[in-house]
Structure 1
């Protein structure tokens, strides 16, 4: 299910400012605009509420073996982050195989399986003992990547958003509240393509834990409810082509599956 289809078929989607959120500079609500832009939501399991996504943060090279396969030394590199726009979201309901369009401009389209933390609270300069208090819940997601474009821009020492931040580059499942799942510090994470295991690791192998990522991010940005964090991918990222089916798993969450079309 792509984002536009989800908006068109969800009675819970609104446009303009989010309900209950003041609009800066306008004392009496949202300003008059020439058109409306839909907000981005994903369902919350066990609730009739939707989770509004404000900003998508992604950490790079957060598993040592993946850092090495990308040409970095994980013992020396501090954490770094990039962002995706909210319209990169492609909500994928559990138990379905959603069509995922092979994007334009690339001939080397890669999967990256990741645990996603979603925040229900915000703040600046968060301490380690308070970091996980910000987490509302978890889900699983794919950081889809136009690898040839990413590498090409990197070789030119230019920003590589074109390789990461394109339409539907962030397939994602529904949010599971922390009260339902607990926090994820260990457990299998794997990805299969056409039934063959490609990525397999344990969440405990992350270089920077979810709590540490929140601490690091909060030093650079003020975090807000609705922010989500893609927490990094294990080694053995690789290409897919049209017709391939990706299945992703994290212990304690329903699998996520897409077909490349």
Structure 2
């Protein structure tokens, strides 16, 4: 996994730029902040382990809120950039072999590893590691990419063709994503699948939210200049159906929350 990620992410801040520039990336960033702040056990003073935290785009605002944040990422260029943020430390590492000690952190964020780990056994190991380092009652936050992301993206931007249909069917049916819209090979979840994986690891109640809601493709298709005009309606739309079982999979991403016993 690490070599593929270094090749995909290592030449520039691709994840950082996506969350700052694309319409649905900016919506994802706002909603991720909103949902995490809503569920944090305290508004400040928590020890947060941001696993797969890339250049620290989420670590930065968490540290600014007064939390102690440590980023773990397999891409050395990401770690170097994250380590320069105020209040943030960082190390090169793997979600499956964390260096943190048992019961040592209040919050673990897995906002990337679960979709980059394409085998169920590897995802289970990463979740087990997160549980190991969390204190009793600690918060685990895990992200997944929706199996319907590609369909909604290419189906609304005019790029859905006969040549891409089989790849779309495969990812919808199995979660196996082959990189057909430019992302690296990955596993895409359904909301129920993500919930089940966390429940198996933590043996505790899991709540899954749709992050962007169903309006996210309109932001990309309208272009950057229209973002400020459209974003408030898109945010309201996302909140209204964030746990609706009929629409949750229309989000591009999910966030799942659970606490250790």
Coarse TM-score class (shorter-chain normalised): under 0.3
Q: In proportion to residue count, which structure has more helix?
A: 2
TM-score (norm 1): 0.24
TM-score (norm 2): 0.24
